[in-house]
A and B are shown apart, each in its own frame.
Chain A
Amino acid sequence: MTTQSLTREAAHAAVADALRRVVPDADLESCPPDVNLREEFELDSLDWVEFVENLAKRTGRRIDEDDYASLETLQDSVDFLSRPGR
């Protein structure tokens, strides 16, 4: 099942929205692309699962636990979402 890949802008917006649902006052504009999202926004495992859930719902992409490694930073997440998925 291939999903049509996202443009980089759409991917970035999706990540921002998913993150803001978990951390309402998250300031993404000034967030460097290569910083660890979990540490930057103090996301514990429950927050992380909710973030992933939001991303999956927003993009329709299936994200497994093995994919978590490729969502560590903003940069990684956008790359992951804009690559054609399985």
Chain B
Amino acid sequence: MAALSEFTMPSLGADMDAGIVLEWLVKPGDAVHRGDIVAVVDTAKAAVDVECFTSGTVQEILVDPGRSVPVGTVLATIAVPGEAGPAAVPTALGGTTASAQARADGDGHLVCSPLVRRDAARLGVDLVTVHGTGVGGRIRREDVEHLAHPGQASGRVPEVPAAPAARRRVSPYARRLARELQVDLAGAAASAVDGAVHAAQVRAAAEAAATVTSAAPAPAAGAREIGAAQRQAAMRATIAGLMARSKREIPHYYLSTTVDMSAAMSWLRDRNRELTVADRLVPAALMLKATALAARRVPQLNGSWRDDRFVASPAVHLGVAISLRGGGLVAPAIHDADALSVHDLMAALKDLVARARTGRLRGSEMSDPTLTVTNLGEQGVESVFGVIYPPQVALVGFGKVLDRPWAVGGLLGVRPTVCLTLSADHRATDGFTGARFLDLIDHLMQRPEEL
């Protein structure tokens, strides 16, 4: 009985994974002896004469010249007379043939490195079930991982977190200290030197807060006032630092226009008639929604100035300037304001103001507004040209809704109007962009039903 010996694509070097048979020097039926040159193989570096290691008769050529096959692929079979000669490649080395089937029912001796064995054990993967994509059917680390986390990209590429919105720069130690001293980083001023929050600033904020918390349990009115004053001072210091830096670094330019509010006000009146008191809308909701939509369409004003260049923000987090009882100001953000309905925006606004005034704002709301709106019209001011909050590049201002003489079609009438203003960073944008932005808001306010 003649046994069949496999003649496989040999490995001809440390970095060779595949080879191309350039030429066969034998054909089926030829006798071959151990050491005869039977083929010429191209290894991408050179053409190499390849010898066979068994003596016998060429049975079948399986791979035609010109085809690139991985090392270990069976190229031809050789009939070996009598028992498999001692020189025949013992089946124990069967592991080297590429066909996984041969490997599975060989001596079950899986070809993979100890590192892969350790990974498999750690990930609870049974190696026998793994199809080895390595040379000669060798199981590689990727094969095990792929089985353990199907679907995930096989390479361990960590998901790149979405670009964080503009973050206030806080040193790691300051962040840790803030956690330990239960200090809300929003309340901490930034260092005047580099605009970042260091331990010193956190400690100052802590002391300010501490004097309040350490007051007597039933604080006499006076004591509570002093505590508030202390917190007030820290708040004031934060605002002072921010405003001073804004004026120092940001070349502001200012634009203003007057918007006819009649369409908006009558739409509001009709809507509020159908709504319960709790859901009733205020003009600010429309103003915010119009501004958010305009920011989406004029992205140059929505983002931050960082390392001497403008970084646009993918989302519109509208900062709302909220005055706190007894002085002080915060401008937390309504996230993705452009995507909210006017009603949801109204609810978000009420919630934000309530929490701002009770000091329960979230860190994220504080740290990432991309454009801020101030609505001082509430306090009866006709128009406001605000100071931009670094690192943002613009500030929108709405004055009081006021009846003004208004010419329509040549005839003089009285219309409710509002003075809409823009303060903008001339490093990031020019007046042209700012004007287009205000014009867009005006246009949107004329069709409240579409907001």
Show the binding face of A for B, using Cβ within 8 Å. Answer: 23, 25, 39, 42, 44-46, 49-50, 52-53, 56-57, 63-65
Contacts and interface: CB of A to CB of B under 8 A. Distances in A.
Given A44-B378, A44-B379, A49-B282, A23 B325 contact: yes
Contact of B278 (A23, A45, A53, A65): A53
Given A46-B349, A46-B353, A52-B277, A65 B282 contact: no
B350 A46 contact: yes
B269 A65 contact: yes
Contacts of A65: 269, 272-273, 280
Contacts of B277: 49, 52-53, 56-57, 63
Interface in B225-276: 269, 272-273
B404 to A, nearest CB: 19
Interface of B: 269, 272-273, 277-278, 280, 282-284, 323, 325, 349-350, 353, 375, 378-380
Nearest to B378: A44
Given A23-B325, A63-B277, A46 B282 contact: yes
Contacts of A44: 323, 375, 378-379
Contacts of B380: 39
Contacts of B350: 46, 50
A32 B269 CA distance: 31
Nearest to B221: A25
Most chain A CB inside 10 Å of its own CB: which residue of B273, B280, B350? B280
A50 B272 CA distance: 14
12 contacts: A42-B379, A44-B378, A45-B378, A46-B350, A46-B353, A49-B277, A49-B280, A52-B280, A53-B277, A57-B277, A65-B273, A65-B280
Contacts of A49: 277, 280, 282
B51 to A, nearest CB: 90
B63 to A, nearest CB: 80
Contact of A45 (B269, B273, B283, B323): B283
Top 8 A-B residue pairs of the complex, sorted by shortest distance between their CB atoms: A44-B378, A45-B282, A53-B277, A56-B277, A49-B280, A65-B272, A46-B353, A53-B278
Given A44-B378, A46-B350, A53-B278, A64 B284 contact: no
Nearest to B352: A46
A46 B280 CA distance: 10
A63 to B, nearest CB: 7
Contacts of A25: 325
Contacts of A56: 277
A53 B272 CA distance: 13
